[in-house]
């Protein structure tokens, strides 16, 4: 697979081999960065970050990755301050930005926006979240974190907890994990179960257990991936109140867990993980944040064709 | 007898075995109503041995490709297509759902970029029986009635 010029839009576009390759490059870059402090693979290259909807964490992670590679960054972080507000089409905006940059990272409230941007430009486009559809770099950094921690992904028993209905992070993570030899436990309130068509797809590949019983599932797990139940995703406040706070990961729960169970979370969290877990060996969520930089360095470097 | 109500054509395409009432939709999807010099004939609610009732569309002076005609497979899966040259059938085929459906179907997701920006809609066929398609842009799937409602 030729990486130079490739777009990173959806986890669906990646084979297991593609994913393994990105993870390997990320690991190499993490090592080089530790050794040298900064790298210059992308010297003279410009990243444009087009955040039509704000997401400070993701944007900073991409910017940091580009700086670590020795490149520079331009961009905007709110559509309100750009000509988009004057009614300019997305296609025209990215075609214009293409003239100033070598790679584009886009975050947009509409599903499919990143795919469209990639189709109208020659330079690589990386999806940093399109509505409720995909956030592939989050998935890759989640996989990277698991791999760095356990040395492997195959053979693990992984629980996905929380809002499995609306959470795009868990959808694409589950799809990517199903490329490996894993066992999946989908743990959620009845109202927030993983959509049927995704569960079907997963079942074609790996053993899947659906449950509402967190305590019952915990002893089985090597990884517990926790997501927030987001109020804004609910069409109806009453429904939200029914499931709000249905699960909390705390020390009492973790007493039932394997000694090396790792707890992950894409952050920000509200109250799904009690702060008392932070100081334990189980907490992996801050390590996850760190993983964002080497993984995004790998994607930027590969699509630019400089590593 | 019913066949006699429709004039034979010298050169062109005859789309037969369209489910009754879908003939106009076929004309719309294939843009056959654009003036092109030749005659366009629609026979609706014709008695048919196979279907009970059917529609037939004939278009003079145009040879529709298999790919073009396959677009109608979503609404007229039973249709057969005859390419006519010099009053004789020179080619005959059944329609088939293509691997990709472009331009005729709208995405049911109101927040899909294809419903807001200038794009040609595009769907990948995930399964044919039952028909299930995935939007190229937002990746949501549509099936059954939802597909028909968005044609
Ligand atoms: Zn769509």
The model's pLDDT over A51-78, given as tens digits with 9 standing for 90+, comes to 999 899 999 999 999 999 999 999 998 7
* A161 annotated ligand binder: no
Q: Which carries the bigger pLDDT value, residue A9 or residue A87?
A: A9
Is residue B46 located within the same domain as residue B66? Answer: yes
Percent of chain B exceeding pLDDT 90 equals 60
Residue B52 belongs to some domain of the structure: yes
User: Would you say residue B142 lies in a domain?
Assistant: yes
* Inter-chain CB proximity A112 and B141 less than 8 Å: no
Tens of pLDDT, residues B119-140: 999 999 999 888 899 999 999 9
- Is the ipTM, as predicted for this complex, more than 0.95? no
Residue B6 lies in a domain: no
pLDDT tens-digit series, residues A117-141: 999 999 999 999 999 899 999 999 9
The answer to whether B107 is annotated as binding is: yes
Contacts of B106 in chain A (CB under 8 A): none
Does pLDDT of B55 surpass 60? yes
Residue in A226, A97, A91, A253 with CA at minimum distance from that of residue A169? A226
Contact between chains at A110 and B135 (C-beta distance less than 8 A): no
Cβ contact A10–B118 (<8 Å): no
Answer yes or no: do B88 and B106 share one domain. no
Instruction: Decide if B113 and A89 are in contact by the 8 Å CB cutoff.
Output: no
Contact in structure between B22 and B16 (CB atoms under 8 Å): no
In a domain, B36, yes or no: yes
Residue B32 inside a domain? The answer is: yes
Q: State the residue for tokens 């988009």.
A: A84
Residue of B nearest to A88 (CA): B117
The whole-number pLDDT of residue B1 equals: 45
Predicted TM-score (pTM) of the model is 0.89
User: In terms of domains, do B123 and B53 share one?
Assistant: no
Mean pLDDT for A75-104 is 85
Whether residue B43 sits in one domain with residue B87: yes
Q: Which residues of A touch B (CB under 8 A)?
A: 10, 12, 89-91, 108-113, 115-116, 130-134, 197
- Does B113 lie in the same domain as B70? no
Nearest to A116 among B117, B140, B141 (CB): B117
Pair (B16, B70) in one structural domain = yes
Give the highest mean pLDDT range of A237-241, A294-298, B41-45, B58-62.
Answer: A294-298
**Residue by residue, what is the 3-state secondary structure of A5-22?**
CCCECCHHHCCHHHHHHH
What beta strand segments (E) does chain A contain?
46-51, 72-76, 103-108, 125-130, 157-161, 183-187, 208-211, 223-226, 262-264
A33, pLDDT greater than 60: yes
In a domain, B72, yes or no: yes
More confident residue, A84 or B121: B121
**What pLDDT sits at residue B49?**
84
Partner-chain residue, chosen from B118, B119, B138, that has the shortest CB–CB distance to A111: B138
CATH 3.40.50.720 fits A11-133+292-304, yes or no: no
Q: What is the pLDDT of residue A80?
A: 65
Tokens of A9: 């839009």
Q: What is the pLDDT at residue A289?
A: 93
Q: Which residues of A are less than 8 Å from B123 in CB distance?
A: none
Hey, are the CB atoms on A111 and B112 less than 8 Å from each other? yes
Q: Report whether A133 contacts A123 (CB < 8 A).
A: no
Residue B130 counted as domain residue: yes
Number of alpha carbons in the 13 Å side-chain half-sphere of residue A194: 28
The minimum CA-CA distance between B142 and chain A, rounded to whole Å, is 11
Looking at CATH, the fold of the domain delimited by A136-289 is given as Rossmann fold (3.40.50)
Q: Where are the domains of chain A?
A: 11-133+292-304, 136-289
Q: Which of B109, B137, B141 sits opposite A115 (nearest CB)?
A: B137
CATH number of the domain residue B111 falls in: 2.30.30.20
The parent domain of residue B125 ranges over 100-149
Same domain flag for B135 and B86 = no
Catalytic residue ranges of A: 57-58, 86, 107, 135
Please report whether residue B4 resides in a domain.
Answer: no
3-state secondary structure of A294: helix
Mean pLDDT of chain B, nearest integer: 89
Span B19-41, mean pLDDT? 87
Interface of B with A in 104-123 (CB under 8 A): 109, 111-114, 116-119
Q: What is the pLDDT of residues B3-28, one digit of tens each?
A: 444 568 889 999 999 999 999 999 98
pLDDT interval class at A243 (50, 70, 90): confident
């Amino acid at each position: 697979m030729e990486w130079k010029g490739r777009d990173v839009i959806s986890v669906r576009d990646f084979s297991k081999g593609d994913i393994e390759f990105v993870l390997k490059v990320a690991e190499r870059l993490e090592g080089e960065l530790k050794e040298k402090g900064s790298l210059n693979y992308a010297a003279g290259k410009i990243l444009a970050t087009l955040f039509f909807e704000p997401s400070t964490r993701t944007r900073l992670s991409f910017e940091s990755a580009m700086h670590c590679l020795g490149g520079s960054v331009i961009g905007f972080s709110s559509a309100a301050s750009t000509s988009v507000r004057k009614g300019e089409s997305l296609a025209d905006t990215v075609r214009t930005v293409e003239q100033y940059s070598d790679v584009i990272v886009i975050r947009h409230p509409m599903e499919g926006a990143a795919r469209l941007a990639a189709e109208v430009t020659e330079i690589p486009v990386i999806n940093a979240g399109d509505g409720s559809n995909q956030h592939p770099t989050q998935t890759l950094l989640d996989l990277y974190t698991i791999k760095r921690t356990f040395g492997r992904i195959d053979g693990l028993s992984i629980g996905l907890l929380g809002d499995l209905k609306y959470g795009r992070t868990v959808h694409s993570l589950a799809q990517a994990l199903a490329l490996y030899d894993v066992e999946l436990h989908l743990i959620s309130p009845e109202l927030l179960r993983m959509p049927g068509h995704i569960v079907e797809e997963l079942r074609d590949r790996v053993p899947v257990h659906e449950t509402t019983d967190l305590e019952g599932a915990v002893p089985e797990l090597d990884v517990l991936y926790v997501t927030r139940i987001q109020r804004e995703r609910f069409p109806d406040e009453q429904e939200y109140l029914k499931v709000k706070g249905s699960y909390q990961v705390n020390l009492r729960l973790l007493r039932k867990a394997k000694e090396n169970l790792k707890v992950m979370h894409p952050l920000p969290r509200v109250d799904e993980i009690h702060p008392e877990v932070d100081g334990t060996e189980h907490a992996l969520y801050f390590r996850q944040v760190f993983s964002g930089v080497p993984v995004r360095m790998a994607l930027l470097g590969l699509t630019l064709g400089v590593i | 007898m019913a066949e006699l109500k429709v004039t034979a054509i010298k050169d062109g395409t005859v789309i037969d075995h369209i489910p009754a009432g879908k003939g106009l939709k076929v004309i719309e999807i294939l843009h056959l109503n654009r003036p092109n010099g030749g005659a366009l004939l629609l026979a609706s609610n014709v008695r048919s041995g196979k279907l009970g009732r059917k529609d037939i569309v004939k278009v003079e002076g145009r040879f529709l490709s298999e790919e073009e005609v396959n677009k109608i497979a979503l609404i007229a899966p039973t249709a057969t297509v005859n390419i006519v040259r010099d009053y004789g059938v020179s080619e005959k085929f059944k329609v088939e759902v293509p691997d990709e459906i472009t331009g005729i179907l709208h995405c049911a997701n109101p927040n899909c970029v294809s419903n807001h920006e200038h794009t040609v809609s595009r769907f990948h066929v995930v399964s044919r029986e039952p028909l299930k398609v995935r939007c190229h842009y937002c990746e949501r799937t549509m099936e059954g009635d939802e597909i028909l409602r968005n044609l």
